[in-house]
Amino acid sequence: MHFPGLFKYSVFFCSFKFPSRFVRWRLFISQLSRSDRRLRCVEPLFDMRACVFLLLLAFSPEKSSFSQQATAQPTHPKTALYFIVLHPILSLDDSGATFNFTNKYTVGIPVGLNFLYSDKIGFSFEFAPSISVSKGFSKMDNFLFHPGILFRFKHGFTFATRLAFETSGRYGATLNFSQIVLRRKKVNYFFAIPVPFRLGNGRSPSIGLALQLGISF
């Protein structure tokens, strides 16, 4: 019993998928058929086995792994939005330590966009307005432009170095240490500890400490 249509389709398909194997298999069939006339009686069985072999070869796991590699999408570069609530803790300068609740309470609301070039490095744009409350009155008293470089590590830890430009006239740099504490399908929750260094506007240099709680998308 012959299967010419199925056999031809299998041969045609495999000749594109495995050209080197196909050539070796066809040469083996030709040499075997010419050297041994006694195999003429089992040619129908031989054709059926060859058909089955070529079909198995065509749909082997090698094809599926190749298709998976071909359809795999790169994860970088990518972007991520984030929102933070910033609570300053203290500031140290020539006059000593000033705590957030001493004369007024200040809270910052940074928002930003991270450009993640790889799983190790990225760039960030951050904009942080701050609001202060004193003696029952509140106002926006500062706006911070905060660009920086992100150094990403395993287990959700990130170290950031940022430049700082404030509308109050102060400028400087900030070191930021952040850690993801909760991962979800579309968002990550994290906390961070920024250490700001500031100078300018006729005041002595200062160093501070703060706490950030944020969410990234």
Q: Which residues contact residue 83 at a Cβ distance below 8 angstroms, ignoring those fewer than 6 apart? A: 109, 110, 111, 214, 215
Residue 61 and residue 113 share a domain? no
What would the mean pLDDT of 110-135 be, rounded to a whole number?
96
Q: Is the pLDDT of residue 16 over 50?
A: no
pLDDT band at residue 3 under the 50/70/90 scheme: very low
Nearest-angstrom CA–CA distance, 111 and 126: 6
pLDDT band at residue 136 under the 50/70/90 scheme: confident
Residue 66 and residue 27 share a domain? yes
Residue 42: per-residue pLDDT:
43
- The residues pairing with 152 across neighbouring beta strands, listed in sequence order, are 158
Q: Which of 71, 98, 117 is the last residue of a domain?
A: 71
pLDDT band at residue 103 under the 50/70/90 scheme: confident
Looking at per-residue pLDDT, the higher value among 30 and 33 belongs to 30
Residue 184 and residue 132 share a domain? yes
Residue 90 and residue 66 share a domain? no
Q: Which of 14, 37, 71 is the last residue of a domain?
A: 71
Report angle CA 157, 159, 164 to the nearest 5 degrees. Answer: 140
In terms of C-beta distances under 8 Å and separation of at least 24 residues, what long-range contacts does 149-152 make, across chains too? 149/121, 149/122, 149/123, 149/124, 150/114, 150/116, 150/121, 150/122, 150/123, 150/124, 151/120, 151/121, 152/116, 152/118, 152/119, 152/120, 152/121, 152/122
Residue 103 and residue 52 share a domain? no
Residue 91 and residue 62 share a domain? no
* Tokens found for residue 24: 């070796």
Q: Is the pLDDT of residue 86 over 60?
A: yes
Task: Return the CATH number at 104.
Answer: 2.40.160.20
Residue 127 and residue 207 share a domain? yes
Per the structure, the count of domains in the chain is: 2
pLDDT tens per residue across span 183-201: 999 999 999 999 999 999 9
pLDDT tens per residue across span 50-78: 555 555 555 555 444 444 444 556 688 99
Q: Which of 51, 71, 91 is the last residue of a domain?
A: 71
Q: What percent of the chain has pLDDT over 90?
A: 62
Residue 62 and residue 45 share a domain? yes
Residue 171: per-residue pLDDT:
98
pLDDT tens per residue across span 137-170: 999 999 999 999 999 999 999 999 999 999 999 9
Q: Which residues contact residue 106 at a Cβ distance below 8 angstroms, ignoring those fewer than 6 apart? A: 88, 100, 130, 131, 132, 133, 141
**Single-letter residue type at 116:** L
Please say whether the beta carbons of 216 and 82 come within 8 A.
yes
Q: In whole angstroms, what separates CA 36 from the centre of its chain?
A: 62
Nearest-angstrom CA–CA distance, 191 and 104: 24
Residue 48: per-residue pLDDT:
57
Residue 84 and residue 59 share a domain? no
Q: In whole angstroms, what separates CA 167 from the centre of its chain?
A: 33
Q: Is the pLDDT of residue 13 over 50?
A: no
Residue 110 and residue 194 share a domain? yes
Residue 60: per-residue pLDDT:
55
Looking at per-residue pLDDT, the higher value among 47 and 46 belongs to 47
Residue 113 and residue 63 share a domain? no
Looking at per-residue pLDDT, the higher value among 102 and 155 belongs to 155
Which letter does DSSP use for residue 110 in this model? Answer: -
Please say whether the beta carbons of 181 and 153 come within 8 A.
no
Residue 111 and residue 158 share a domain? yes
Domain region containing 132: 78-216
Q: Look at the block and give the residue holding tokens 């009155």.
A: 137
Taking all residues of the chain, what is their mean pLDDT, rounded to a whole number? 80
| Strand bridging mode 105-108 / 96-99 | unpaired
